[in-house]
């Protein structure tokens, strides 16, 4: 069985080289693991090629707003579906995203704790997230709370790495993450359910039903998770030494009806409620320091959308979508605060297919953000109007894509972004492309109007990105190689600016610059009962500001590596995954270092019947101690060795 020696070889390399390793040692580990994996798996590829199944092409809409085969898309796109989530037994959205090239995260102490996602060395504010086509996230923070999104509600995740402000507007500097909630595709009534138990007294459950009859379909899903957690920080005050628990309850509904061959209407609702305990910094800068008790935050995240697609002619499709997302938090610590944000949006997209080789898209967006709660902002609402167009064309072996967008914002005025890509097909199996794109990130309500630190003259952060890509298939192995160069200007940074009435005052300004360049390489193969994938990223995220120029950006690793393999024999599936990261720095001066690390997971699935399966998983099986985040002298603990068992049912 080839999987066993291959995985054992990879594990031995990482265990030897990454325990307390420096960056150069993990680089050596990654190279050794890549070479070993490639050469061991190559014979298997040739031996099994004759038996391979016919695999349907993977489709995405995130790159260009229309359905395209991912292998033919002129961009770096990864799609992870429900089947893959369950096969790898992934338990959080951030762990799912970390398997994708160029993506890493920071986490402040385990499940349900503050998590930031980095795509290609950018920060959490530079990632645009959509749920069923609706923009989500906090208008005050300007980012998505990934830690609260329930993985049991996910049907599919599409990730575009690279800028797309030319289609989506603000935030899409590092990339775009499109999340689709649960949706069944089989005719009839098909219920599904899962129940899991894991370390730290963690319970996770999901129950739902898919209904599809003629032209009507609907999926209802309920999910919940509760854990006692572990001590999330290294703070040593008495009230910070306890376990920091978390619970989350959610419900989603997606439904639609096809009235005629020309008209389809769909709607979706996602409701999430959670409570997370954490260790507070309390009033650390205040003379009246107190060690707060019962520190926790209550959150609510809701997403609603209603859409209609009408096709009056074969060449013209028009889509109208109305949506709302809500992000609410109630923080209970030494300085309690309630902050609620609401985002209403309306979009209209027209797609004109002149022929199979030429497509023109015309669209407009309207968005209104509102803020309420216990903080008094000088401005509590703003709107943004946008107009965009995109052209997709094919001329023999050449493919072209171009888009331009104008955003007119009530706060910072108008902003124009664009994207242009030229693709060349060497043959049916190999595609290349060269692209250039600009993007921006609008200042948030906190940046502009945080009480006492108002900075209404801030301008948007801007980026220019160059990318070259090559993708194809060889001997049933799908491969991809991408190079990127991203320059970001006017980055907003907060710095101390004390005044007599507030000696601890901080204010933001457009003073930071960054330059990020790198290379991503990935391999993937699926042959009957054997699946494996591998990806490696080298990136150089540098600070280009006057202060700390040339230093590595905060909490970004230079090297990332993922390996995953699963082998099915009769009713059993055995699998393993490796995730490794280079060192990162927790200070802008690069004086505080968080060491390189590698974690190894092992998993087994027993398919007792076509409908019922039993799964077990051991994460971080060698109990590696590591950290991904550091703030104000405090390290945030990450989970050690942990075990899970899950029962799944899905009617076939």
Q: How many domains would you assign to the chain?
A: 1
Task: Confirm if 148 and 301 have CB atoms less than 8 A apart.
Answer: yes
The number of angstroms, rounded, from the C-alpha of 421 to the middle of its chain's C-alpha atoms is 24
Averaged pLDDT, 156-176 = 97
Task: Confirm if 83 and 650 have CB atoms less than 8 A apart.
Answer: no
The pLDDT confidence band at residue 646, using thresholds 50, 70 and 90, is very high
Percent of the chain with pLDDT over 90: 80
Residue 574: the pLDDT is 98
Residue 37: the pLDDT is 42
Residue 324: the pLDDT is 97
Instruction: Look at the alpha carbons of 540, 563, 424, 81 in this order and tell me if their dihedral is positive or negative.
Output: negative
3-state DSSP call for residue 160? Answer: strand
**What is the H or E stretch that residue 62 is in?**
none
Averaged pLDDT, 503-516 = 91
Residue 282: the pLDDT is 59
Residues 55 and 7: their CA atoms lie apart, in Å, by 25
Q: State the pairing for strand pair 296-313/263-277.
A: antiparallel
Task: Confirm if 225 and 195 have CB atoms less than 8 A apart.
Answer: no
- The candidate with the shortest Cα–Cα distance to 392, out of 58, 68, 62, 57, is 68
Whether 51 has a pLDDT exceeding 50, the answer reads: no
Residue 143's φ and ψ, nearest 5 degrees, are -155, 165
Angle at 167 between CA 164 and CA 172, to 5 degrees: 35
Whether 48 has a pLDDT exceeding 80, the answer reads: no
Full-model pTM = 0.92
- Mention every residue, 6+ apart, whose C-beta is less than 8 A from residue 187: 212, 213
Residue 30: the pLDDT is 45
**Structural domain that includes position 161:** 3-650
Task: Confirm if 536 and 34 have CB atoms less than 8 A apart.
Answer: yes
Averaged pLDDT, 535-556 = 95
Give tens-digit pLDDT for 359-387: 999 999 999 999 999 999 999 999 999 99
Residues 81 and 99: their CA atoms lie apart, in Å, by 13
Residues 469 and 401: their CA atoms lie apart, in Å, by 14
3-state DSSP call for residue 29? Answer: helix
Residues 240 and 252: their CA atoms lie apart, in Å, by 35
Tell me, what CATH number does 542's domain have?
2.40.170.20
3-state DSSP call for residue 42? Answer: helix
Q: Which residues of 270-282 are buried (b: 16+ CB within 10 A; e: fewer)?
A: bbbbbbbbbbbbb
**What is the H or E stretch that residue 82 is in?**
helix 82-87
* DSSP conformation class of 426: S
The number of angstroms, rounded, from the C-alpha of 294 to the middle of its chain's C-alpha atoms is 31
Residue 245: the pLDDT is 96
- Cα-only R_g, the chain: 24
- Mention every residue, 6+ apart, whose C-beta is less than 8 A from residue 650: 190, 191, 192, 193, 611
According to DSSP H, which parts of 420-537 are helical? 445-449
- The candidate with the shortest Cα–Cα distance to 636, out of 108, 101, 30, is 108
Whether 49 has a pLDDT exceeding 90, the answer reads: no
The pLDDT confidence band at residue 15, using thresholds 50, 70 and 90, is very low
Averaged pLDDT, 194-221 = 97
3-state DSSP call for residue 96? Answer: helix
Lowest average pLDDT, out of 114-118, 493-497, 500-504, 557-561, goes to 500-504
Can you point out the beta strands (E) in 456-543?
461-474, 477-496, 506-527, 530-543
Residue 633: the pLDDT is 80
Task: Confirm if 538 and 518 have CB atoms less than 8 A apart.
Answer: yes
Task: Confirm if 391 and 401 have CB atoms less than 8 A apart.
Answer: yes
Give tens-digit pLDDT for 418-470: 999 999 999 999 999 999 999 999 999 999 999 989 999 999 999 999 999 99
3-state DSSP call for residue 91? Answer: coil
Residue 618's φ and ψ, nearest 5 degrees, are -120, 115
**What is the H or E stretch that residue 3 is in?**
helix 3-18
Tell me what the pLDDT averaged over the chain comes to: 90
Task: Confirm if 339 and 371 have CB atoms less than 8 A apart.
Answer: yes
Instruction: Look at the alpha carbons of 507, 513, 518, 522 in this order and tell me if their dihedral is positive or negative.
Output: positive
Residue 407: the pLDDT is 97
**What is the H or E stretch that residue 73 is in?**
none
């Amino acid at each position: 069985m080839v999987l066993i020696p291959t995985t054992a070889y990879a594990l031995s390399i990482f265990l030897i080289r990454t325990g307390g390793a420096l960056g150069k040692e993990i680089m050596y580990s990654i190279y050794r693991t890549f070479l070993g994996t490639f050469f061991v798996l190559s014979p298997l590829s040739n031996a099994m090629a004759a038996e391979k199944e016919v695999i349907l092409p993977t489709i995405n809409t995130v790159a260009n707003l229309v359905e395209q085969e991912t292998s033919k898309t002129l961009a770096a796109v990864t799609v992870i579906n429900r089947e893959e989530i369950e096969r790898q037994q992934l338990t959080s959205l951030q762990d799912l995203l970390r398997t994708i090239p160029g993506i890493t995260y920071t986490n402040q102490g385990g499940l349900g704790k503050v998590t930031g996602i980095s795509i290609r060395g950018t920060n959490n504010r530079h990632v645009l997230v959509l749920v069923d086509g609706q923009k989500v996230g906090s208008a005050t923070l300007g980012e998505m709370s990934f830690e609260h999104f329930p993985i049991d509600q996910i049907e599919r995740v599409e990730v575009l790495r690279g800028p797309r402000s030319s289609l989506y507007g603000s935030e899409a500097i590092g990339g775009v993450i499109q999340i689709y909630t649960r949706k069944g595709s089989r005719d009839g009534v098909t219920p599904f359910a899962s129940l899991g138990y894991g370390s730290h007294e963690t319970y996770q459950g999901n129950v739902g039903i898919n209904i599809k009859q003629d032209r009507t379909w609907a999926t209802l899903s309920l999910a919940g998770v509760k854990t006692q957690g572990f001590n999330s920080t290294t703070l040593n005050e008495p009230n910070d030494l306890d376990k920091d628990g978390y619970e989350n309850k959610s419900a989603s509904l997606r439904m639609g009806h096809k009235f005629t061959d020309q008209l389809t209407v769909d709607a979706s609702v996602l409701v999430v409620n959670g409570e997370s305990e954490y260790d507070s910094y309390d009033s650390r800068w205040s003379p009246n320091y107190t060690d707060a008790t019962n520190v926790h935050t209550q959150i609510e995240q809701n997403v609603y959308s209603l859409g209609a697609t009408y096709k009056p002619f074969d060449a013209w499709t028009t889509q109208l979508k109305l949506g709302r997302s809500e992000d609410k938090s109630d923080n209970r610590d030494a300085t309690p605060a309630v902050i609620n944000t609401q985002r209403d949006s309306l979009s209209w997209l027209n797609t004109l297919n002149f022929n199979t080789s030429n497509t023109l898209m015309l669209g407009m967006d309207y968005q209104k953000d509102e803020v309420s709660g216990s903080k008094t902002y000088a401005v509590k609402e703003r709107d943004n109007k946008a107009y965009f167009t995109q052209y997709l064309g094919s001329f023999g072996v050449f493919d072209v894509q171009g888009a331009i967008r104008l955003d007119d914002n009530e706060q910072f005025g108008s902003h124009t972004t664009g994207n242009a890509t030229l693709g060349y097909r060497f043959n049916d199996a190999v595609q290349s492309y060269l692209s250039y794109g600009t993007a921006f990130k609008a200042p948030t309500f906190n940046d502009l109007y945080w009480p006492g630190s108002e900075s209404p003259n801030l301008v948007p952060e801007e980026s220019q990105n160059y990318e070259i890509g090559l993708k194809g298939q060889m001997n049933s192995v799908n491969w991809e190689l991408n190079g990127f160069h991203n320059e970001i200007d006017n980055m907003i940074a907060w710095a101390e600016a004390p005044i007599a009435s507030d000696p601890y005052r901080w204010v933001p300004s457009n003073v930071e610059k960054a330059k990020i360049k790198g290379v991503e390489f990935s391999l993937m193969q699926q042959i009957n009962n054997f699946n494996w994938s591998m990806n490696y990223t080298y990136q150089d995220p540098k600070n280009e500001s006057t202060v700390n120029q040339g230093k590595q950006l905060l909490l970004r690793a230079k090297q990332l590596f993922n390996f995953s393999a699963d082998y099915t024999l009769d009713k059993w599936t055995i699998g393993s995954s490796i995730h490794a990261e280079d060192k990162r720095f927790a200070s802008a001066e690069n004086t505080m270092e968080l060491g390189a690390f590698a974690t190894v997971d092992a998993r087994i699935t027993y398919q007792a019947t076509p409908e019922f399966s039993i799964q077990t998983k051991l994460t971080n099986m060698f109990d590696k101690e590591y950290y991904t985040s550091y703030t104000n002298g405090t390290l945030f603990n990450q989970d050690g060795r942990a075990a899970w068992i899950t029962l799944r049912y899905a009617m076939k």
